[in-house]
Amino acid sequence: MTVWIAIGATFVGCYAVKLAGLLVPAGVLQKPLVKRLAALLPVALLAALTAQQTFADGRHLVLDARAAGLAAAAVALLLRAPFLLVVAAAVVVTAGVRALAG
Amino acid sequence: MTQRTTCTDTGAGHAVGAAAGKPDTAVVRDALAVGIAVGLSGFAFGVTSAGSGLTLPQTCALSLLVFTGASQFALVGALAAGGGPFTAAAGAFFLGVRNAFYGLRLSQLLALPRALRPLAAQWVIDETTAVTLAQPSRRAARIGFTVTGASLYLLWNLTTLLGALGARALGDTGAWGLDAAGPAVFLALLAPMLKSATQRAVAALAVLLGLGLLPVLPAGVPVLAAASAAPAVLYLAGRRTRRAPTPAGTAGTADGTHGMSETTGSGAGEDDR
């Protein structure tokens, strides 16, 4: 049930902002500060999420196979690999390190 | 490819491009390239969501209803980490806020009738915006938006279903390294946004906050706290600019929509979703 509540809340929120962009008069969101903040929010959230999902185990910080996988993804990104290849590199390297580690 | 930059920025570029014209088939081809390439990454979401413990209907409902990739990944990640439903939804919501700013640009370019806007809204995401902004005329923009939106929506939902089914067949997704798919997706979304010093500072501070607060705050809350890196860095950068009003001030100005115009470049859709 908890999950459905979360899905419902996310749907309502995400749809509302999509629609708001199409409906509100341009002036409201056109303030430079608001625009810059909106552009930087995803940077902060994505960076925090990347770090947490790589180094967190519950509420503890750990260094495990996922770190190697993320490093592989970073290399793939530097080599301008397409999106799916970046994800695949992370998955394969993580699985490989786990298999080697036993 | 250079033409895109001009079009993205001003209405002037728009008008010039319209005179040049662009065949409908070329627009459809570009739009399909993005729609298909990015639509396929629904696999990664389906697998990650199922691996996070969501059921098949829950996973599919997310792709059908929420349909904005980063928010979907964030939500299942937060739920898997034990976050409460509203904390988890808040993180996903903040990631979706950027779509409001895309909608703003799109409503000017597409000039949709009011009755159509609630329908079109569901497709207002990174990729459709990138394709639409790259078009030289209103007609091309409308075709680009519709074809990208439709192809991406269909494929994203189909591959979500297949990914979730596949993950179930695999059993322990951790053994297959699939728990690394989520962070890799976030990194791929983040990478093209790390161009200016301001953006890098925000990312670095957010990582510190996100990891540093993890042991002390309830699940899901550290990510929200890390979001404060954005206003914090903006504030500090603003103060520095006021003191030395010459070059530093330009650092953050390109933060916004520029990243998106890259997506259409090779059609690979390396960023977003």
At A29 the pLDDT is: 67
Q: What ipTM does this complex have? A: 0.91
Please report, to the nearest 10 degrees, the dihedral formed by the alpha carbons of residues B57, B60, B65, B66 taken in order.
Answer: 120
- Residue of A4, A11, A17 to mutate when probing chain B, most B C-beta within 10 A: A17
> What is the residue extent of each domain of chain B?
2-179
The ranges of chain A with pLDDT < 50 are: none
Encode burial over B128-138: b for 16+ CB neighbours within 10 A, e otherwise: bbbbbbbbbbe
Taking CB atoms and an 8 Å cut-off, how many pairs form between chains A and B? 321
Let me know the angle formed at the C-alpha of B209 by B208 and B213, rounded to the nearest 5 degrees: 115
Helix A2-23 to helix B98-110 angle (10° resolution) is 40
- Residue of A1, A2, A3 to mutate when probing chain B, most B C-beta within 10 A: A3
- CB-nearest to A6 from B73, B79, B193 is B79
Q: Where does the pLDDT of residue B245 fall: very low under 50, low under 70, confident under 90, or very high at 90 and above?
A: low
* Residues of A in Cβ contact (< 8 Å) with B228: 44
CB contact (8 A) between residue A59 and residue B98: no
- CB-nearest to A95 from B106, B112, B176 is B176
At A79 the pLDDT is: 97
For chain B, what percent of residues have pLDDT higher than 90? 51
- Taking only the tens place, the pLDDT of each residue in B181-222 is 889 988 988 998 899 999 999 999 999 999 999 999 888 889
CB contact (8 A) between residue B89 and residue A54: no
CB contact (8 A) between residue B180 and residue A20: no
* Residues of A in Cβ contact (< 8 Å) with B61: 7
Contact between residue A97 and residue B210 where contact means Cβ atoms under 8 Å apart: no
- Taking only the tens place, the pLDDT of each residue in B18-69 is 445 789 999 999 899 888 888 888 988 999 999 999 999 999 999 999 999 9
Q: Where does the pLDDT of residue B252 fall: very low under 50, low under 70, confident under 90, or very high at 90 and above?
A: very low
> DSSP E strands: which ranges in chain A?
56-57, 60-61
- CB-nearest to A61 from B107, B120, B214 is B214
CB contact (8 A) between residue B186 and residue A7: no
